[in-house]
Structure 1
Amino acid sequence: MKVEQTTIPGVLRIGLEVKPNDDGWFKENFHREKLAALGMDVVQHNVAYFAEAGIVRGIHAEPWDKYLSPSSGRVFAAIVDLRDNATFGQVETFELGTSDALFVPRDVGNSFCTLTPHTTYNFLVNEHWSPERVAVDLFDPELAIEWPIQELSYTERDATNPSLEQLRRQRA
């Protein structure tokens, strides 16, 4: 496991060793002690499968830490700091494949776009799911996220997320 700090405090990019074998490959995606050393005690593992490229989800910030990694396919991840701090609104993007993971702390927004069909995305979290979250518009011009695919598919719920400026006003 190779851990790198990113420009957003607490967000870590993690390189995972993928070992080719005669049948395909093997990776250690989850190791309790290694994740505990990062400050994460996993309580739930979620898996999402996406049949098509261009499916986008987010930008959601939940009250739990997340460890994200594709087990098949590739994703473009856009991470946005939504915490009340000096880096509020800062964006960093990543392309993630099977040898990559991200550690995203609670209250930092996470979004992703599938780059390939048949993408499977793993989400390990340190709190059980609840509907509580903060969300921001995927296409907010202030964030200026350059989504890598022209035609995107997203949920109606994500289409109605507030702008960063609306979120600022709600918190004031």
Structure 2
Amino acid sequence: MKIITTSLPGVLIIEPKVYSDERGFFTETFQLERYKQAGMTLPFVQENHSRSHRGVLRGLHQQRTHPQGKLVRVSRGAAFDVAVDLNPDSPTYGQHIGVELNDENHRQLWIPPGYAHGFCVLSEVTDVQYSCTDVYYPDDEDGVRWDDPDLAIPWPIQQPVLSTKDLALPTLRERMQRL
């Protein structure tokens, strides 16, 4: 397993070992001791699976008082996955990283609690699976708009398909005024 650090503290890109032959491939998507050594020490308590079509963008989401760490991977298709630092006391506040996760590179993205998360779908159909360190609380939702000019995320799609909820998310500045 290869661990790649990013410009955001604690956010990691993980490249698991993949064993391929004429039958297909095998990879471990999680192994407790190796992932603990990489700094992922919180237990996973919820597993999510999302299927979306080309052009869908989900995010940027987080929870206010029950922040979730997320170990994200794509089991089918391809997605551009993004983590954003929303901690106003952080030296990397408002910064983001983005990485393509797909069913060929088998990469994973570890997003520690406190970061916002989102992704857009790059293939016809994409399955995103992620393990979370806390359960989902609908009343605790928070986030920022995907197209916030202060974030300047270089999304690889121009006119995404968004949920009503995601269209109503505030910009980073609007969010700060509410805090």
Normalising by structure 1, we get a TM-score of 0.92
Runs of 4+ in structure 1 deviating by more than 6 angstroms, as ranges, are: none
Match for residue 68 of structure 2?
64
1:2·1:16 contact (CA, 8 Å) conserved in 2?
A: yes
Q: How far 1:116 sits from its partner (Å)? A: 0.5
- Matched residue, 2:49: 47
The question of 1:128 aligning with 2:130 is answered: no
- Cα deviation for residue 78 of structure 1 reads 2.0
Partner amino acid for 2:3?
A: V
CA distance in 1, matches of 2:56, 2:92: 27
Q: Output one character per residue of 1:35-67: Cα deviation in whole Å (capped at 9) or x when no partner.
A: 3332231122111112x2111000012312110
- Work out whether residues 32 and 42 of structure 1, in 8 Å CA contact, stay in contact via their aligned partners in 2: no
Aligned residue among 107, 119, 123 for 2:114: 107
Inter-partner Cα distance in structure 2 for 1:23 and 1:119? 23
Partner of 1:9: 9
1:166 and 2:174 equivalent? yes
TM-score (norm. length: structure 2): 0.88
What's the secondary structure of 1:148's corresponding residue? Answer: coil
Deviation at 1:166, TM superposition (A): 0.8
Distance 2:14 2:177 in 1: 34
Structure 1, unmatched stretches of 5+, are none
Contact 1:107/1:134 (<8 A) preserved? no
Secondary structure of the residue that 1:168 maps to in structure 2?
Answer: helix
SS at match of 1:36: helix
How far apart are residue 8 of structure 1 and its match? 0.7
Q: CA deviation at 1:28?
A: 1.0
1:82 Cα deviation after fit: 0.4
Residues 155-164 or 92-101, more deviating: 92-101
* Alignment RMSD (CA, Å): 1.4
Give the one of 87, 92, 113 matched to 1:83: 87
Q: Percent identity?
A: 32
Which of 122, 125, 149 aligns to 1:118? It is: 125
| CA-CA distance at 1:15 after TM superposition | 0.7
3-state secondary structure, aligned to 2:29: coil
Letter in 1 for 2:125: H
Distance in 2 (alpha carbons) for counterparts of 1:101 and 1:156:
28
- 1:10 CA displacement: 1.1
Equivalent position SS for 2:118: strand
Structure 2: gaps of 5 or more residues: none
Q: Is the 8 A contact 1:35 1:41 kept in 2?
A: no
Cα deviation, residue 5, structure 1: 1.2
SS at match of 2:73: strand
How far is 1:160 from its partner?
A: 0.6
